[in-house]
Structure 1
Amino acid sequence: MAVINRIAGFADEMTAWRRHLHMNPELGLECHETAAFVAAKLREFGVDEIHEGIATSGIVAVINGRGAGPVTGLRADMDALPMQEETGAEWASQVPGRMHACGHDGHTTMLLGAAKYLCETRNFAGRAVLIFQPAEETIGGGRIMVEEGVMERFGVDEVYALHTDPFSAFGEFRTRPGPIMAAVDDFEIHLTGKGGHAAYPHDCVDPLPAATAIAQAMQTVVSRNTNPLLPLVVSVTQIHAGSAMNIIPEKAYLAGTVRSFDPELRDMAERRIGEIVAHQAAVYGVEGKLDYQRNYPATVNHDAQVDTAVRIAREVAGADHVIDDIAPEMGAEDFSYMLEKRPGAFLFLGQGVGPSVHHPGFDFNDAAAPLGASFFARMLERHPAKG
């Protein structure tokens, strides 16, 4: 593997940065201490511009190269998850109920490592626009940064991102042209009947039969309404009702998620879920209310930028450690909003097989950080100059 020598030389510093971030996780848009740490490092490195407070706590930093060239956006997410850590590491989270369980501490560290190197060398044409965003795990900090105009304000031509991958071998880059991660929608269903004593069901309107019927009927959205060659997931993940064995509850609640790639399929799933809720509620004589929330769109890579990213990944990791035709995944990413605005590519970087992301035992592999930083740095250095 061809990690840049200078980046390898400060790998221990990167480990220290990452572990500091891991010990101090923040949630959603409120990544203020994380942002302050990032901004302090960027000033220490000597970036040309630092713009803070974007999407509440996001940062955009600009590093000017030598002469005219493309403006390349490089993105890292900063937020953690509301989970209790169970790694047992010396650098485990110091904040109860919060942990970096998705590797965003590592993503931020990789981009900081690239920033340090690029500021020292300036061996590239054009400009590097480094995007440190909050709230990937919640309301879509990437969407907010796009809505606040970061692509236009900083003249970004292309944009790239990495995500750590605990499901593949260490140092393996994985990507694909076209859809790589799914659109995500969430739904909540509120059913209201008439509660009462369980010994007198005829005096009640029980929402539980309606809840179970709706949950079962939803499975037909995939099995009977969808072309079996097209990927779609409809998952009911919560059903809540009742408080005692001898009480028929007044209300029942269901919730879940929908994952898709095709916009027409996404529309169909929303429509059919609405029809199922309305008609099953009517059948069982209860009131049914559906709250359907469209969240992140599908993450769709652009062909030319995937070609560029794959070429650079092969230089960094070796051809045997780059896979450019992986199957799309049903997880979701708010980097999708940036790819809707600008051409670019999203890649996974293997950190060795271990506990899954969003698992209390997950921890970013610090040995992967110099690889990611080298990829980001080479992305700038290998772009051709304009004119």
Structure 2
Amino acid sequence: MKDSDKLKKIIDLRKNLHRKPEVSGNEAGTSAIIKAFLKELEPDEIVEELGPYGLAAVFKGEQKGPTTLIRAELDALPIPETGKIAHKSVHPGISHTCGHDGHMAIVCGVGLNLSKNRPKKGKVVLIFQPSEETGMGAAQVISSENYKKIKPDYAFALHNLPGHEKNEIVLKKGAFTAASKGMTIALKGRTSHAAHPEDGQSPAEAMCKLIVGLQKLPENIQDFSLVTIIHAQLGEVAFGTTPGNALVMATLRTFENETMASLTQYAERLAELIAKESGLEFSISYCEEFEAVVNDTEPWELVNESAKELQLKTKHIRIPFRWSEDFGKFSTLTNSLLFGLGSGKKQPQLHEGHYDFPDEIIPAGIAVFTKIIEKLNH
């Protein structure tokens, strides 16, 4: 198959995936499309049940060597697509506006190369994980029984980056993306008639103190931290009733996992103090927890060298990105690297309704991963 035919096949796959997006935890159709594509490549093994709908293709070499894992994400977002492209999402309110369709296409392109040029030593595992957007997918994959078959020595992934030149490789040692978590604080008081608020226990003042106090917490922390209030709710719409319950929801964000532990502790202590001061009961819960992605030196050098050999422009950043990525779960367990692939300075930002992954950057993504495999498994 000519290179132009290979690329067309991969772009057609990408557009098909874009048309049929599925949100986290519901990626059955996406997983089936990927499985059908991978089966055509005749890998040595297809590993399924890596978390809900997760799967991997395994290409084995004849000699002993390292296991190299390359990861893509299956899920889309609950965001209506507003663009007018021919391959627009057929599922109302759901879209691939983070570019995971492009990430999957790139890793499938790597598989296409591997089917014609198998590794000589060790093995290469192309993994497609669910639920990245909720921070649950990588943990589900790693905790699944079938993940024991993989045991990677290295793990690599990329993320497309609007605002950077197309095909630019963005690199950083150490923390690359932030740790984050969603925090919900529930306050419970007592309702009363609105004519007699003194007979109740309203959480209104405590809720306001929490909103202000949580946002001020980073002032007490030396390293980067951020608290963003994303939602608050007080009582019900009932003009004859004083409120008895309140919710405050916030996103906590740091560049280091240790700083996240400190910020969380401060936030919990603040909630406890304010609730007690107001005579309220309180509870705290968390969701969408992401660890920081921490890049290791050896894989950083591999990607840096690969980009140079491919004559791709590199950009070395000093400050981590504020957004989060659940590849952090892989980075805590093995030598790993998440790198950026520029998707265009005029490209819409991630999660915008008219975002569409640019097919022009697919060859560069495939080339970098293929070069890494050459260095480790040939």
Identify whether the pair has TM-score above 0.5, normalized to the shorter chain. yes
Aligned pairs, number: 376
Deviation at 1:283, TM superposition (A): 2.4
Identity of aligned residues (%): 28
Match of 2:91 among 88, 95, 105: 95
Deviation at 1:198, TM superposition (A): 3.7
Q: Is the 8 A contact 1:66 1:122 kept in 2?
A: no
Q: TM-score, normalised by structure 1?
A: 0.91
Of 280-289 and 296-305, more deviation after overlay is shown by 280-289
- Helix, strand or coil for the counterpart of 2:332? helix
Deviation at 1:176, TM superposition (A): 0.7
The answer to whether structure 1 residue 226 and structure 2 residue 232 are counterparts is: no
The answer to whether structure 1 residue 334 and structure 2 residue 334 are counterparts is: no
Q: 1:326 to 1:296 in 2, by over 3 A?
A: same
What is aligned with 2:105?
A: 109
Deviation at 1:217, TM superposition (A): 1.1
Deviations 1:175-203 (A, max 9, x none): 21111112222211111223344443333
The whole-number CA distance in structure 1 between the counterparts of 2:324 and 2:377 is 32
Match of 1:269 among 263, 268, 273: 263
What is aligned with 1:235?
A: 228
5+ long unaligned stretches in structure 2:
none
Deviation at 1:24, TM superposition (A): 0.5
What is aligned with 2:308?
A: 314
Aligned residue identity for 2:82: E
Matches within 5 A, 1:1-387: 7-65=3-61, 67-122=63-118, 124-148=120-144, 152-223=148-219, 225-227=220-222, 230-241=223-234, 242-244=236-238, 247-293=241-287, 295-318=289-312, 321-353=313-345, 354-383=347-376, 385=378
The whole-number CA distance in structure 2 between the counterparts of 1:47 and 1:61 is 6
Deviation at 1:8, TM superposition (A): 4.8
Aligned residue identity for 2:331: L
The whole-number CA distance in structure 2 between the counterparts of 1:179 and 1:275 is 27
Q: Is the 8 A contact 2:59 2:119 kept in 1?
A: no
Deviation at 1:28, TM superposition (A): 1.6
5+ long unaligned stretches in structure 1:
none
The whole-number CA distance in structure 2 between the counterparts of 1:361 and 1:124 is 43
The whole-number CA distance in structure 2 between the counterparts of 1:84 and 1:141 is 22
- Helix, strand or coil for the counterpart of 1:184? strand
Q: Is the 8 A contact 1:25 1:95 kept in 2?
A: yes
Of 51-60 and 64-73, more deviation after overlay is shown by 64-73
Deviations 1:18-53 (A, max 9, x none): 010011011223211111111111111222211122
Q: Is the 8 A contact 1:135 1:141 kept in 2?
A: yes
- Helix, strand or coil for the counterpart of 1:256? strand
Deviations 1:237-269 (A, max 9, x none): 111124155643221111011112334422222
The whole-number CA distance in structure 2 between the counterparts of 1:115 and 1:52 is 16
Deviation at 1:292, TM superposition (A): 3.9
The whole-number CA distance in structure 1 between the counterparts of 2:332 and 2:119 is 29
Q: 1:78 to 1:243 in 2, by over 3 A?
A: same
The whole-number CA distance in structure 2 between the counterparts of 1:232 and 1:66 is 48
Q: TM-score, normalised by structure 2?
A: 0.93
The whole-number CA distance in structure 1 between the counterparts of 2:276 and 2:101 is 49
